[in-house]
Amino acid sequence: MSRVLIGRNLPESVLAEARKIFDVTYRDSPYPLSHAEMVEALTEYDGALVTLGDAFNAEVFAEAGVPRARILANFGVGYNHIDVEVAKRAGLTVTNTPGAVTDATSDIAMTLMLMSCRRAAEGERLVRSGKWEGWHPVQMLGTHMTGKRVGILGMGRIGQAIARRCHFGFEMEVSYVSRSEKSLDFPATRCETPEALAAEVDILVVSVPASPATHHMVNADVLAEMKPTAHLVNIARGDIVDEAALIAALEEGRIAGAGLDVYEHEPDVPEALRALDSVVLLPHLGTATLEVREDMGRMAVENLRAFFAGEDVPNPV
Ligand SMILES: NC(=O)C1=CN([C@@H]2O[C@H](COP(=O)(O)OP(=O)(O)OC[C@H]3O[C@@H](n4cnc5c(N)ncnc54)[C@H](OP(=O)(O)O)[C@@H]3O)[C@@H](O)[C@H]2O)C=CC1
Ligand SMILES: O=C(O)C(=O)CO
């Protein structure tokens, strides 16, 4: 039986499935693996189910030397916490969980769009404060989403699911940036650059993966192109947006608001961001439903199973 580390708390049904197939060591913790635990994952196990925040970087692989582990099955679609090139050079297969996350993450994008446009978090805080004085015709006026233009930065699985919700649910127009032209069943305009996209949309949604190419893709120049009435939503990874530049744009009222599920130095969220009424802050909730986490877990376990059975893994990265 292959010796597999489950690196973090998972839904019970996923653990039970894994235990049927492997000799499982379960690390019963909500926190990411430490450096020493990652080295141990590589040296003491045949494979590991790893999660967001487990920073399998070049130093970890260097310390592990010639690893015993042959596969890292990531629980999640985003794998920017793993140095995949170094992992492959060390002889490991890396897998992820595409698709299982798409609808839930798109739903959180819609939640953030609506909350930011309709000032929902600010309104909730007002009611909780006991200071609400009742309805009046010009109280807390937000942005009407129906019919506006959304900009999708990264028209992949999640970007397309968000665009579909916007087009079919809110009659919105869609613009996007992607490396390749997309063939879609709804109208959408492709822009050449993030700056061009930012300039023409009412809501800019970040859905590109984190990579050296997308680090700070939404920088001060992109934010400067946005309309003062526009909102930014980020459901991808924190470091795609230059957080300091975003805080400055919000503080100076150069954009109307932002909705964030992810942060540049997660879980640290700068005090300046937390102090702003014009920003909606969620704790990386994109895939946080039991059904979706079970699906992600099943996919990760299936990748491990297939690998150790000598089959092609379903989701190599
Ligand atoms: N908040 C949360 O909880 C969650 C966050 N995520 C994040 O969402 C990300 C996207 O997931 P998913 O939609 O499945 O990924 P996909 O790979 O399906 O889509 C990524 C899209 O980004 C585009 N892209 C990639 N690099 C660039 C670049 N340098 N310039 C322009 N466009 C680029 C790709 O273009 P092309 O198609 O042309 O190659 C593709 O359209 C994940 O990587 C993850 O970080 C995912 C799930 C949950
Ligand atoms: O899948 C991912 O990339 C996440 O961020 C967590 O589900």
**Interface predicted TM-score of the whole assembly (ipTM), two decimals:** 0.99
H-assigned helices in the chain: 12-21, 35-44, 58-64, 84-89, 102-117, 120-129, 157-164, 170, 194-200, 220-225, 243-251, 271-274, 290-308
Token representation of residue 218? 């939404």
Q: What is the pLDDT of residue 45?
A: 98
User: What CATH number is given to the structural domain containing 25?
Assistant: 3.40.50.720
**Given ligand 1 and candidates 95, 105, 222, which is best to mutate, with the most ligand atoms within 8 Å of its CB?**
105
**The whole model's pTM is what?**
0.98
Position 205 in a domain: yes
Is the Cα dihedral 35, 37, 41, 45 positive or negative? positive
* CA gap 21, 33 in Å, rounded: 23
Low-confidence ranges of the chain (pLDDT < 50): none
Does a structural domain hold residue 317? no
Question: Nearest residue CA, atom 4 of ligand 2?
Answer: 76
pLDDT at 36: 98
Q: In 3D, which of 39, 36, 28, 79 has the Cα closest to residue 315?
A: 79
- Do 47 and 140 reside in the same domain of the chain? no
Same domain for 94 and 108:
no
Query: Quick one: tokens of 85?
Result: 């090139």
Measure the CA angle with vertex 29, ends 283 and 111; round to 5°. 20
Count of domains in the chain? Answer: 2
In the numeric block, which tokens belong to residue 43?
Answer: 């040296």
Q: Which two tokens stand for residue 277?
A: 């009424």
Distance between CA atoms of 81 and 292, rounded to whole angstroms? 21
Q: For residue 75, is it within any domain?
A: yes
Q: What is the pLDDT of residue 65?
A: 95
Shared domain check, 27 and 48 = yes
Q: What is the pLDDT of residue 103?
A: 98
Per DSSP, the residues of 227-281 read -TT-EEEE-S-GGGB-HHHHHHHHHTTSSSEEEES--TBTTB--HHHHT-TTEEE
- Is residue 316, in this structure, part of any structural domain at all? no
Nearest listed ligand to the Cα of residue 152: 1
Cβ–ligand 2 distance for 188 under 6 Å, the answer no
Domain annotation covers residue 268: yes
Domain boundaries, position 83: 3-100+290-308
Same domain (yes/no): 111, 233: yes
Residues 50 and 160 in one domain: no
As a whole number of angstroms, the distance between CA 55 and CA 58 comes to 9
Please choose from 9, 50, 52, 237 the residue to mutate so as to test ligand 2's pocket, defined by most ligand atoms within 8 A of CB.
Answer: 52
Catalytic residue among 8, 231, 237, 305, which? Answer: 237
80 and 216 together in one domain:
no
Model pLDDT, residue 301: 98
Burial of 185 (0-12, 13-18, 19+ CB in 10 A): exposed
